[in-house]
Amino acid sequence: MRNFIEKNFIVIAVAMTATAMVFPHAFTWAKAFLPVMLGLIMLGMGLTLELSDFSNVFKHGKALFIGIAAQYLIMPFLGYLVSRIFMLDEAALIGMMLLGACPGGTASNVVTYIARGNLPLSVSMTLVSTLAAPLMTPLIVEFYIGKSVPVPFWGMLINMCLIVMLPVASGILIRHFSPFSAKKLCPYMPSFSILMIVVVIAVVAALNCKMLESFPVIVICAAILHNISGLSLGYAAARLSGCSIKDSRTIAIEVGMQNSGLAATLAAKFFSVQSALPGAIFSLWHNISGITLAGYWSRNEGAERPEDERMASESAE
């Protein structure tokens, strides 16, 4: 059953979204529970981490710094730029900015593994960007749109601590003090997290069913372009900074794949349900693009050139 859920995420998500549009009232009541669902997903992430992972973070040096900088510089800028290019309305602009300002998604670790990237670097990037998110996300949103849209900075910061930091810390502590319990839970957490994300997407779809019926092509295209541009510029920034091919692929995936469930949840809680739509669309699309790109890279891996091997060793210093 777990393998079925993990292998058929897109099919399940599309089916659930269609159901939510036909029977919206069966899902809209769950809007109040979106933060709880995200908290459970972050708890699952915490269960996969050990205290030693924090010390391992510093082993990646240059590549980690470049990746985090790209995460919080490239994606917010792209979110704003794409929104202006497509002349999105205020609600969609807010949703795109939240997408750009959120940390990397947990699915990026799986996609990095498929792409045969640097998995320890991927985990370190996800960990650092997630821990920085309660401060960075509201700061970035305030910086880009604070003059035109009231941004509840402190409310977002406090809530992100509750739905990101607290669950992750709880998961780490459970794994540290009760490794047997963590070992029992961990095999089920990927499937559970997928189901929670599917429910989040379905709830957002139900809340926006009237808008989705008109097929918002512009918002869909904007979300897709945001993702593809993030993957491309993330890779380019890493290569231009001297990272190896393996590390550059990892950074591209981490930069391009956002925690879209968190973006949708924050949008629905602090702004409007319409603002959550880009996050829901992105959540479906970035899994398709990420897995497709990872499959291509894994089939065309090849041996790294000597200079790439040297870069890889330097990035770990």
Per the structure, how many domains does the chain have?
1
CA distance 274 to 277: 6
Residue ranges of the alpha helices (H) in 119-188?
Answer: 119-145, 153-160, 166-177, 179-185
**Lookup result for tokens 């109040």:** 32
pLDDT at residue 315 in the model? 42
Average pLDDT for residues 162-181, to the nearest whole number? 87
* Sign, Cα dihedral of 19, 110, 290, 68: positive
Cβ proximity of 75 and 97 under 8 Å: no
State pLDDT tens for residues 227-258.
Answer: 999 999 999 999 999 988 989 999 999 999 98
pLDDT at residue 2 in the model? 67
With a CB cutoff of 8 Å and minimum separation 6, the contacts of 309 are 244
CA distance to 57, 61, 69, 125, 156, per residue, from 317 (Å): 12, 6, 18, 16, 36
pLDDT at 305 over 60: no
CA distance 76 to 261: 16
pLDDT at 206 over 70: yes
* 109: enclosing H helix or E strand: helix 107-114
Number of alpha carbons in the 13 Å side-chain half-sphere of residue 274: 11
| Percent of the chain residues past pLDDT 70, beyond the cut | 91
> How many residues does this entry show for the chain?
317
pLDDT at 9 over 90: no
pLDDT at 312 over 50: no
pLDDT confidence tier of residue 118, bands split at 50, 70 and 90: confident
With a CB cutoff of 8 Å and minimum separation 6, the contacts of 75 are 99, 100, 101, 226, 230, 255, 258
pLDDT at residue 317 in the model? 39
pLDDT at residue 308 in the model? 47
Widest Cα–Cα separation across the chain: 59
pLDDT confidence tier of residue 57, bands split at 50, 70 and 90: low
pLDDT at residue 130 in the model? 87
pLDDT at residue 264 in the model? 87
pLDDT at residue 6 in the model? 67
User: Between residues 290 and 314, which one has the greater pLDDT?
Assistant: 290
What single DSSP character describes residue 104? Answer: B
Rounded to two decimals, the pTM is 0.80
CATH number at residue 147: 1.20.1530.20
With a CB cutoff of 8 Å and minimum separation 6, the contacts of 95 are 263, 264, 267, 271, 274, 275, 276, 277, 278, 279
pLDDT at 304 over 80: no
The parent domain of residue 305 ranges over 2-315
